[in-house]
Amino acid sequence: MSEVRNIFILCEEGLEALAPHIKDALEEVMSYFPEHKDDYPIKILGNWKNKGYKRINEEGHEVLVPYESMDWYIARAKRCSKNEGRFQKTGQISINQLCSDLISDPYTKTIPQWSVFVTKHDLYATGMNYCLGFSQENKFAIVSTARFVDENNKLDLENFKTVLMHEFGHLIGLTNKKRVHTQELLGTHCTNEGCIMQQRMNGDFTDLTRARLKRKHSEAPPICDDCIREGRKFFVRQKLAYNLIHEGELSR
């Protein structure tokens, strides 16, 4: 059977060792959609750099080629932050710029994919002091490790994984506006107790992490029945669209 989409894990330089943990977290979510998970192979690209990701410009300076490396995406988000006077004060980078560039990535038109983009830079969005991450359904998820690293540079892995799984849940449409038990709170979120698709306005997902680990110990899913039901609908829609596209290609 052909792959419907690749799930690409991209990690900023310095986070490559985190990639297997990211893959484990995504595989855990996908395990609750067993009839679809083989259609979505998870592949670690790490600190991705395509061949020829740098070039020499007319002034003789080495520059990054658009869309050809993680470095280019980070540099663009950093430049936007500097232009807005943000980077100099906080060291944060613009998630709006990251989203814009990921949406316009030409590779998404030739290679069916979802990108899970993990950065060590703290993120901010227009009108917000910071954000842990952001997702666009059926396209990408962005998550930062910055708020999960303590003063000793130790990562709170489980809290990070909760937010990562939460953003991936948005990517696969678990909180569709038309489903039951949701609320609008910085996007559509689940209201079912213990489900990782709930929202925390203060950015503290500790209670949801505790609930997730407790559920995992008892072999229960990190997402509720409503989220699983909505996810199944999402994957059915994706497979139908995939079949229609390929039937059209075969009939040409």
Structure tokens at 78: 């950093």
Q: What CA–CA distance (Å, rounded) separates 228 from 24?
A: 18
Buried/exposed 25-43: b ≥16 CB within 10 Å, e otherwise: bbebbbeebeebbebbebe
Q: In CATH, what number is assigned to the domain containing residue 71?
A: 3.40.390.10
The number of domains in the chain is 1
**Closest C-alpha to 22, from 30, 92, 105:** 30
**In contact, 172 and 231? CB cutoff 8 Å:** yes
37 within domain boundaries: yes
115 within domain boundaries: yes
Place of tokens 């500790």: 206
100 within domain boundaries: yes
1 within domain boundaries: no
pLDDT tens readout for residues 129-151: 999 999 999 999 999 999 999 99
Q: Count CA within 13 A, CB hemisphere, residue 173.
A: 17
**More confident site: 135 or 1:** 135
118 within domain boundaries: yes
Range of the domain at 231: 6-250
Contacts of 211 (CB under 8 A, 6+ apart): 193, 194, 196
State the pTM of this model: 0.95
pLDDT tens readout for residues 170-193: 999 999 999 999 999 999 999 999
CB-neighbour burial class of residue 160 (10 A; exposed 0-12, middle 13-18, buried 19+): buried
Q: Quick one: average pLDDT of 76-91? A: 96
